[in-house]
Structure 1
Amino acid sequence: MPRPPKFASVGAVRRSFAPWADPDAKPLIRFENVTKRFGDAIAVNDLSLDVFEGEFFCLLGPSGCGKTTLMRMLAGFEHPSEGRITLAGQSLAGVPPYRRPVNMMFQSYALFPHMSVEKNIAFGLKQDGLPKDEIAARVGEMLRLVQLERLAKRYSSQLSGGQRQRVALARALAKKPKVLLLDEPLGALDKKLREETQFELMDIQHELGMTFVVVTHDQEEAMTMADRIAVMDHGRIVQVATPGGIYEQPKTRFIAEFVGDVNILEGNVLGQENGLWHVQTPSAEAPLTIDDPDEVLHSGQAVAIAVRPEKMVIQRNPPGPGAVNVLTGEVWDIGYLGDWTVYRVKLASGAILRVTLANRSRFVESPIDWDDQVYVTFAPDAAVILAE
């Protein structure tokens, strides 16, 4: 659906939104040393996390990492084995799901097939005993919000996947919860519709000023929609940061490999000179030069160098004198993706690099081809040193 003009400034507003950077800001949601056990299995392990009012927050991680369990504890469908969860400063211990100011949109949408769109949206409001005129006004508001007015009388079984998703969203929003929980909300949609819906969710969240907490295993969804992302693994939070922080400054090898594509070069620290680290690696003839001032390393320490494919430069001619971080190899595979071309380069050490090149023009006079000998370079500040 086309984006309404009133959302033209969403990007600027989102860039300036950072309550987590304010030491005086109080979180809306707080998990304090929360653990959840199912028998001998630990789904969530001594986890602490703050989410702020008005935030579009994403729990990201592989299947089985504990992200859905964490959301279900917030909703009241599961209870912590240890620890405490508070909402707006109030403990949620013993509060049943229907009395919590949160609502959850399930991955399956869970619509009633025998009800029309408007009746599905009105269902929770009727259960709460709201007056008919207030229900009608709220349903109309939600239909306009998700742009389904013309389908109000249609049964949910007659809708497309994208339309059902919007009905489920409208029903969840109709009760005006403090927090909306979304469990893999776009998983049932095709790629193009999923991409469009990501921006629609951002716009709706901004218009309502509501706090959204989303669970997903899709890195692109998280990077597109979230103000902040918590990456989870084995029941713990590995890193919490903005999408840019997660992508550009991953704290561990797991995060670097899980979020986006990355090349990992193994090596050992030789030392530091003029603020730059020198790392010996079997992937290059000369030591690598890395500008990563946040790391504290010692000589001989084993490290991994993470470099994103788009930050590497590939060419057939040798780089000029004084070039640093030069890797030589042979083009092993080429993938043409339209806007990008992906090159897989096999180094003499046997390591395979992935290098992406933007296709800025329609024609290339002398394209790099299979089996070509090539040189791959990257700037010292394009890499991140991972010590764990």
Structure 2
Amino acid sequence: MKSLGSIRRSFAPWSDPAAKPYISFENVTKRFGDFTAVNNLSLTVYEREFFALLGASGCGKSTLLRMLAGFDDPTAGRILLDGQDLRGIPPYRRPVNMMFQSYALFPHMTVEANIAFGLKQEGMPKGEIATRVAEMLRLVKLEQFAKRKPHQLSGGQRQRVALARSVAKRPKVLLLDEPLGALDKKLREETQFELMDLQQNLGLTFIVVTHDQEEAMTMADRIAILDKGEVMQVATPAEVYEAPSSRFVAGFVGNVNMFEGTVTDLSGGAASIRSAAGLDIMAHNAGAASAGNPVAFAIRPEKIKVSSRKPAASDINVAEGEIYDIAYLGDMTVYHVKLADGQVVKASSLNASRVTEDPLSWNDRAWISFSPDAGVVLTR
């Protein structure tokens, strides 16, 4: 089987039938009065995995994190950590630490005192505390800021102090609730890679909650996409992007063009689809489609070619339209092409050279085309 997309690392215990999950949510439900935040949810996370919970506000991702940390109890179901049922175990007795978006640093304490606080509370000997704090400062590259207080640091530096304090106690699991939300875009992107390196160096299990798709795609080994307290799909970033399991997932992660239509023929795992837009589609990735039934054909903008001339090959996977809008993003140009039925299709083109071979402008007639293996057929 061909792999989908790029591979960040070979770590993939979920593919091993003999591997045992490190964290298990088993039919977990959480209600707050009449509101159901988490609905009969089951989910597994493996040791040393960088796992992301991704979803819009109110989907239940932070509630899952709080139940794992012990701040909330499930209404039904159970949560296991390394085979142990966590019900009844208070937060301070769980081998779990949580880092919040606000960082919650003590303003009157220095950087090193903030990092040492939890170790002192546990009664660790002074010599060991000094050694551990020095190790953490080296790890997050803040040795020269040890005597400063939080207000004397930048946002990114405060984030690293909070991170160092969170991992100083060597928890089995680190929970991160929107950890990079307070940082600007450039610093957030830099810190994502720092978090990945730190997680692998320490060998800990990280679970991050985020609504930022790019953040989850960059950092996580696997992503669980949540909606209204339910899991919609759990997969690697490449699988979520290239092989979404439903219309919801396809539309939630990245940009996508969706052609609704009906399957007219199935042959050898390929589907012929007559779209509502009048476009004849041949898709190699037919999935669970069956002849005569409605489906959606989902295709990413970068998989679509746009040109001023009609492709010579055939009339399959080809449509004519008008350039409705253009967005120049530096590394790429995104074209919005309006088809005859009014549907607007997004097609992106990489700006590999400074000179455009086939210049297109607003209101120009243009053709879109794509290969049969460029998209995926969705039945739900």
Quote how far apart the aligned CAs of 1:273 are. 3.0
8 Å CA contact 2:156, 2:183 repeated in 1: yes
Which residue type is aligned with residue 167 of structure 1? V
Q: When the two structures are superposed, what TM-score results if normalisation uses the length of structure 1? A: 0.95
SS in 2 for 1:314: strand
CA 1:369–1:109 in structure 2 vs 1: closer, same or farther (change >3 Å)? same
Q: Is the 8 A contact 1:284 1:328 kept in 2?
A: no
Note closer, same or farther for the CA distance 1:310–1:177 as it changes in structure 2 (3 Å cut). Answer: same
Contact 1:324 1:378 in 2 (8 A): no
Do 1:66 and 1:233's aligned partners in 2 also have CA atoms closer than 8 Å? Answer: yes
Letter in 2 for 1:253: R
- Structure 1 counterpart of 2:299: 307
Establish whether residue 335 from structure 1 lines up as the match of residue 335 from structure 2.
no
Match of 1:288 among 281, 285, 290: 281
Give the match for residue 191 of structure 2: 197
Q: Give the ranges of 4+ consecutive aligned residues of structure 1 lying more than 6 Å apart after TM superposition.
A: none
CA distance in 1, matches of 2:164, 2:9: 26
Please say if 1:359 is aligned against 2:344: no
Q: Is the 8 A contact 1:30 1:50 kept in 2?
A: yes
Give the secondary structure class of the aligned counterpart of 2:296: strand
Contact 2:30 2:75 in 1 (8 A): yes
Q: Alignment partner of 1:166: what SS?
A: helix
Task: List per-residue Cα deviations over 1:254-290 (Å, max 9, x = no partner).
Answer: 10010000001111111213432111113245x2111
1:386 match: 378
> Are 1:271 and 2:248 counterparts?
no
3-state SS of paired residue (2:62): helix
- Asked if 1:171 is matched to 2:161, the reply is no
The residue that corresponds to 1:246 in the other structure is 240
- Separation (CA, whole Å) in 1 of partners of 2:364 and 2:297: 25
**SS where residue 137 of structure 1 aligns?**
helix
- The C-alpha deviation readout for 1:307-354, integer Å capped at 9, x for no partner, is 000000000011103352001100011010000101111111100111
**TM-score, structure 2 as length reference:** 0.97
Correspondence for 2:56: 62
Asked if residue 95 in structure 1 is aligned to residue 89 in structure 2, the reply is: yes
Report the Cα offset of residue 41 of structure 1. 0.4
Q: Secondary structure at the match of 1:244?
A: helix
CA shift for structure 1 position 367: 1.1
Q: CA deviation at 1:197?
A: 0.6
The amino acid of 1:331's aligned partner reads I
Q: What is the root-mean-square deviation of aligned Cα atoms in Å?
A: 1.3
Alpha-carbon deviation of 1:365? 4.7
Kindly provide the amino acid, as one letter, of the partner of residue 182 in structure 1.
Answer: L
Structure 2 distance, partners of 1:127, 1:261, is 48
Determine helix, strand or coil for the equivalent of 1:380: coil
Distance 2:331 2:277 in 1: 29
1:5 aligned partner: none
The one-letter code sitting in structure 2 at the alignment partner of 1:319 is: P
Match of 1:45 in 2: 39
* 1:125 alignment counterpart: 119
Aligned partner of residue 64 in structure 1, secondary structure: coil
Of 9, 21, 25, 1:27 maps to 21
Choose which of 365, 373, 379 in structure 2 pairs with 1:373: 365
Alpha-carbon distance between aligned partners in 2 of 1:264 and 1:255, rounded to the nearest angstrom = 12
